[in-house]
């Protein structure tokens, strides 16, 4: 969060690369695919043709083929960096548990596929590095008792190696990214409106960065492979090839142990303690008119609109899949029937969270507001995943916690201000880009700005509402923003009293 805060200052929250890691991964993937298609046109399979064709592209056609070769390499490296950061970030923010397990688990084989695609690419060049990689990786594979003849023997002398080997490798190098693409599609099955394209500025910036790198430090080969000599020394690509020196130092068995062990550990993360299983959203058909807003706003595609089953004169009804729901409550904030104003009957909306019903939320608001005093009374609706706002409770400030800021139906703000329960309402949630449930900040902003249903009614005085998006590392800013808001409220109240 500290790091992201610094990057926010450098790039602004819209272009902060940490908020677009998955989308950047897709972007690099496409750069690799497009540059790879061009390289493939000129690539010649066979010994020594493979090496010669890559040399032709690098030296004689440097102005396009050479640049594309470098782009192909550097975008692959960038994909690796992005993937490492993506995993680390999601783990650090604890976004792999509960019903997110599926997205996490479908990511794990992607790591292996990215490695296989990258390593097989280094073989194709058939230079000294390729020779090293070929021998090191086949020796590593030979540790498994699955091949009758050790495959590393193919590299004993030029006679033992034939050109069909390159055709096989080429097939692998193309097939693996295709499998990756399929798996990526799978990876995003449980993500609503997945961000697969980075913002334009970030795409242009990152592309320019790769281009400059390609021109300044073009990718080159390291002399043709010669199976009669030991390929030494070779310069390694430290993004993809770091496991090989480890295999050399520790042996194939240890590296297999590490690779399989860390894969299993990574795959087990969603089920490691502490486990949390919160009750998922439930639909109340008596109050659902099938308007589809909850389905549109749900970040995890947990709501579908099914045919009506209760005979009411509406076409559809919301249906929650409890295996997909992450209990964020965003659907409650989007439901037009979620309102605290109902007096005659209990305020039961079309959809709600059993752990914090709208009725319970209304009574928490009433209880919290009772303790408020002064002319700058603020009711803070705080997202529990952002900051522990209950620390703010005092004579002029009362807090009500929510699983996500976007769980708050805008009508609650109207309720608090029109009933005089407080002089102002503050909504405190995650820093923009860090929302635990992806769309909490975006949907809240859009609803308050009148860009997304349900709108905040026009009669609600906007100057009495504060939106504070702050990470736990920005607690001081949250406090000072709140203090500024209260100071503004005091001036407003005094002015109104004078009038
Ligand atoms: C080639 C590599 C990968 C790419 C291109 C990729 C891409 C993406 C994209 C585009 C999203 C949606 C982001 C959004 O719209 O909020 C996403 C989400 C996610 N990814 Fe990946 N991913 C990759 C690898 C992985 C790996 C290796 C893991 C974990 C082992 C992983 C775990 C997740 C999880 C848990 C989410 C859901 C995050 C959330 O609920 O907020 N991904 N990924
Ligand atoms: S609480 Fe609602 S919005 Fe959130 S995941 Fe569940 S169904 Fe979707
Ligand atoms: S937002 Fe409310 S009324 Fe609309 S479909 Fe969802 S549950 Fe039904």
Same domain, 155 and 290: no
Nearest ligand (C-alpha, residue 179): 1
User: What is the 440 CA–ligand 3 centroid distance (Å)?
Assistant: 18
- The residue whose two tokens read 């998955």 is 22
Which pLDDT does position 301 carry in this prediction?
97
Question: Which ligand 3 atom is at minimum distance from the Cα of 290?
Answer: 5
Which bound ligand lies closest to the C-alpha atom of 339? 3
Helix H or strand E segment including 105 = helix 101-124
Confidence class for position 352, pLDDT limits 50, 70, 90: very high
Q: Is residue 276 part of a domain?
A: no
Q: What is the mean pLDDT of residues 36-41?
A: 97
**Closest ligand (CA of 336):** 3
The answer on 85 and 234 residing in a single domain is yes
Per residue in 241-278, pLDDT tens?
999 999 999 999 999 999 999 999 999 999 998 877 88
Element (H, E) at 468: strand 465-469
Residues 220 and 295 in one domain: no
From residue 292, alpha-carbon distances to 128, 316, 334, 335 in Å are 60, 8, 9, 9
Q: Which of 61-70, 157-166, 188-197, 469-478 has the lowest mean pLDDT?
A: 157-166
Hey, whose CA ends up nearest to atom 6 of ligand 3? Answer: 294
Statement to judge: residues 335 and 407 lie in one domain: yes
Q: Which atom of ligand 2 sits closest to the CA of residue 351?
A: 2
Residue 375 lies in a domain: yes
Given this model, what pLDDT does residue 400 score?
98
326 within ligand 2 shell (Cβ under 6 A): yes
150: left (phi over 0), alpha (psi -120 to 50) or beta: beta
Distance 40 CA to ligand 1 centre (A): 29
Residue ending a domain, choose from 271, 294, 327: 271
Distance 295 CA to ligand 2 centre (A): 9
Ligand 1: atom nearest CA of 96 is 35
> What distance in angstroms lies between residue 212's CA and the mean position of ligand 1's atoms?
28
438 and 488: one domain?
yes
What confidence tier does 149 reach under pLDDT thresholds 50, 70, 90?
A: confident
Whether 465 is covered by a domain: the verdict is: yes
Atom of ligand 3 at shortest distance to CA of 284? 7
Ligand 2 center to 281 CA (angstroms):
6
How many domains is the chain partitioned into structurally? 2
Q: What is the DSSP letter of 348?
A: -
The string of pLDDT tens digits covering residues 461-488 is: 999 999 999 999 999 999 999 999 999 9
Which of 292, 297, 350, when mutated, tests ligand 3's pocket best, judged by the most ligand atoms within 8 Å of its CB?
A: 350
pLDDT value, residue 156 = 78
How much is the pLDDT for 182? 98
In a shared domain, residues 289 and 437: yes
Confidence of residue 164 (pLDDT cuts 50, 70, 90): confident
Looking at residue 46, its pLDDT comes to 80
Do residues 125 and 144 both lie within one domain?
yes
Quick one: tokens of 283?
């639909």
Q: How far is the CA of 283 from the centre of ligand 2 (A)?
A: 11
pTM exceeds 0.75, yes or no: yes
Q: For 275-296, give one letter per residue: b (16+ CB within 10 A) or e.
A: eeebebbebebebbbbbbbbbb
In a domain, 242, yes or no: yes
Look at 345 and 332; give whichever has higher pLDDT.
Answer: 332
Listed residues 243, 271, 299: the one ending a domain = 271
Q: Looking at the chain, how many residues does it have? A: 499
Task: Please state the atom number of ligand 1 nearest to the C-alpha of residue 90.
Answer: 35
Question: When comparing pLDDT for 355 and 232, which is higher?
Answer: 355
Q: Is 407 in the pocket of ligand 2 (CB under 6 A)?
A: no
pLDDT at 48 (0 to 100): 82
Contact 280, 318 (CB under 8 A): no
137 lies in the same domain as 91: yes
The reported pLDDT for the residue numbered 168 is: 86
Which ligand 2 atom sits closest to the C-alpha of 437? 4
Query: What CATH number corresponds to the domain at position 203?
Result: 1.20.810.10
415 inside domain: yes
* 345: confidence class by pLDDT, cuts 50, 70, 90: confident
For the cut 80, the answer to whether the pLDDT of residue 161 exceeds it is no
pLDDT exceeds cutoff 90 at 152: no
Residue 277 covered by a domain:
no
Residue 497 confidence class, pLDDT cut points 50, 70, 90: confident
In a domain, 66, yes or no: yes
Which ligand minimizes its atom distance to the CA of 100?
1
- Residues 267, 289, single domain; the answer is no
Percent with pLDDT over 90 in the chain: 87
Ligand 1 shell residues, CB under 6 Å: 22-23, 25-26, 83, 86-87, 90, 95-96, 100, 103-104, 107-108, 110-111, 114, 184, 187-188, 191, 194-196, 266, 438
Q: How many helices (H) and strands (E) does the chain have?
A: 16, 8
- Locate 28 and state its tokens: 């690099």
Q: Show which of 244, 271, 298 is a domain's final residue.
A: 271
Give the ligand at the shortest distance from the Cα of 284: 3
Residue nearest to atom 7 of ligand 3 (CA): 350
Average pLDDT of the segment spanning 402-428: 97
Q: Among all ligands shown, which has an atom nearest to the Cα of 351?
A: 3
Sequence-separated contacts (24+) of 184-190 with Cβ below 8 Å: 184/26, 184/29, 184/110, 186/106, 187/103, 187/106, 187/107, 187/110, 188/103, 189/102, 189/106, 189/301, 190/99, 190/100, 190/102, 190/103, 190/300, 190/301, 190/324
Query: Given this model, what pLDDT does residue 87 score?
Result: 98
Q: 35 C-alpha to center of ligand 1: Å?
A: 24
Examine the pLDDT at 37 and tell me if it is beyond 90.
yes
Does residue 267 belong to any structural domain of this protein?
A: yes
In angstroms, the Cα distances linking 248 to 19, 31, 147, 398 are: 37, 33, 21, 62
Are the beta carbons of 447 and 297 closer than 8 angstroms? no
Using the predicted structure, report yes or no on whether residue 132 has a pLDDT greater than 80: yes
- Does one domain contain both 258 and 398? no
Q: Residue 440: which region, alpha, beta or left (left: phi > 0; alpha: psi -120 to 50)?
A: alpha
Mean pLDDT of the chain: 95
Same domain, 307 and 244: no
Residue nearest to atom 6 of ligand 2 (CA): 325
Residue 295 shares a structural domain with residue 411:
yes
Backbone angles phi, psi at 228, to 5 degrees: -85, -5
pLDDT greater than 90 at residue 150: no
Domain membership of residue 419 as a residue range? 282-498
């Amino acid at each position: 969060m500290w790091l992201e805060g610094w990057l926010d200052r450098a790039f602004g929250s819209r272009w902060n690369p940490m908020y677009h890691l998955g989308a950047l991964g897709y972007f690099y993937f496409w750069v690799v695919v497009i540059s790879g298609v061009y390289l493939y046109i000129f690539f010649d399979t066979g010994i020594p043709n493979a090496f010669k064709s890559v040399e032709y592209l690098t030296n004689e056609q440097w102005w396009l083929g050479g640049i594309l070769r470098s782009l192909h390499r550097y975008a692959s490296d960038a994909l690796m960096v992005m993937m490492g950061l993506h995993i680390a970030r999601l783990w650090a923010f604890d976004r792999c548990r509960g019903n997110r397990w599926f997205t996490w688990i479908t990511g794990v084989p992607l790591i292996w596929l990215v490695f296989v695609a990258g390593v097989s690419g280094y073989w194709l060049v058939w230079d000294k590095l390729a020779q090293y990689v070929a021998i090191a990786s086949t020796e590593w594979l030979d540790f498994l008792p699955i091949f009758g003849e050790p495959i590393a023997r193919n590299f004993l002398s030029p006679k033992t190696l034939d050109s069909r080997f390159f055709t096989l490798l080429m097939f692998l190098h193309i097939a693996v990214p295709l499998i990756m693409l399929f798996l990526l599609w799978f990876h995003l099955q449980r993500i609503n409106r997945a961000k697969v394209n980075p913002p334009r500025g970030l795409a242009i910036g990152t592309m320019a960065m790769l281009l400059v790198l390609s021109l300044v430090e073009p990718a080159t080969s390291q002399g043709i492979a010669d199976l009669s000599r030991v390929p030494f020394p070779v310069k390694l690509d430290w993004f993809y090839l770091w496991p090989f020196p480890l295999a050399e130092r520790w042996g194939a068995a240890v590296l297999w142990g590490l690779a399989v062990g860390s894969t299993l550990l990574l795959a087990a993360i969603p089920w490691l303690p502490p486990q949390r299983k919160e009750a998922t959203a439930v639909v109340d058909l008596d109050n659902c008119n099938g308007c589809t807003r909850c389905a549109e706003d749900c970040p995890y595609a947990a709501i579908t609109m099914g045919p009506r089953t209760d005979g009411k004169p509406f076409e559809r009804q919301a249906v929650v899949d409890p295996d997909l729901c992450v209990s964020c409550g965003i659907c409650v904030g989007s439901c037009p029937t979620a309102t605290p104003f109902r007096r005659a009957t209990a305020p039961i909306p079309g959809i709600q969270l059993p752990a914090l019903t709208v009725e319970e939320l209304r009574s928490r608001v009433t209880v919290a507001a009772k303790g408020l005093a002064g002319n700058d009374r603020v009711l803070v609706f705080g997202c529990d995943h952002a900051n522990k706002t209950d620390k703010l409770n005092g004579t002029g400030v009362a807090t009500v916690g929510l699983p996500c800021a976007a769980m708050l139906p805008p009508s609650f703000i109207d309720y608090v201000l029109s009933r005089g329960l407080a002089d102002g309402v503050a909504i405190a949630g995650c820093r923009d880009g860090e929302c635990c449930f992806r769309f909490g900040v975006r949907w809240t902003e859009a609803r308050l700005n009148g860009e997304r249903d349900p709108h905040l009614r026009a009669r609600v005085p906007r100057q009495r509402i504060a939106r504070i998006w702050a990470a736990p590392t920005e607690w001081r800013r949250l406090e000072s923003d709140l203090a500024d808001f209260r100071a503004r409220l005091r001036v407003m109240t005094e002015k109104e009293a004078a009038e």
